[in-house]
Amino acid sequence: MNMDLRNTAGPGDDPDAILAGIMVATATAFTARTIADGYRRHVFPVCRMDEVIVSGGGAHNRTLLAMLERLLSEQKVLTSGALGVSDDAKEAVIFALLGNDFMHGFCNNLPSATGAERPTVMGKLAFP
Q: In this predicted model, what pLDDT tens digit does every residue of 67-119 receive, in sequence order?
A: 999 999 999 999 999 999 999 998 999 999 999 999 999 999 889 888 889 99
Answer yes or no: do 27 and 80 share one domain: yes
> Structural domain tally of the chain?
2
Closest Cα to residue 2, out of 18, 27, 19, 22? 19
Answer yes or no: do 18 and 39 share one domain: yes
Residue range of the domain that includes 28: 13-85
Answer yes or no: do 78 and 92 share one domain: no
Answer yes or no: do 110 and 81 share one domain: no
Instruction: Give the separation between CA 121 and CA 89, rounded to whole angstroms.
Output: 23
Q: Is the pLDDT of residue 11 over 90?
A: no
| pLDDT per position as a tens digit, 16-38 | 888 888 999 999 999 999 999 99
Answer yes or no: do 96 and 69 share one domain: no
Q: Is the pLDDT of residue 39 over 70?
A: yes
Note whether residue 5 is domain-resident: no
Give the number of other CB atoms < 10 A from CB of residue 9.
15
Note whether residue 7 is domain-resident: no
Answer yes or no: do 78 and 91 share one domain: no
Note whether residue 1 is domain-resident: no
pTM, two decimal places: 0.74
Answer yes or no: do 68 and 120 share one domain: no
Determine the pLDDT at residue 1: 45
Answer yes or no: do 46 and 93 share one domain: no
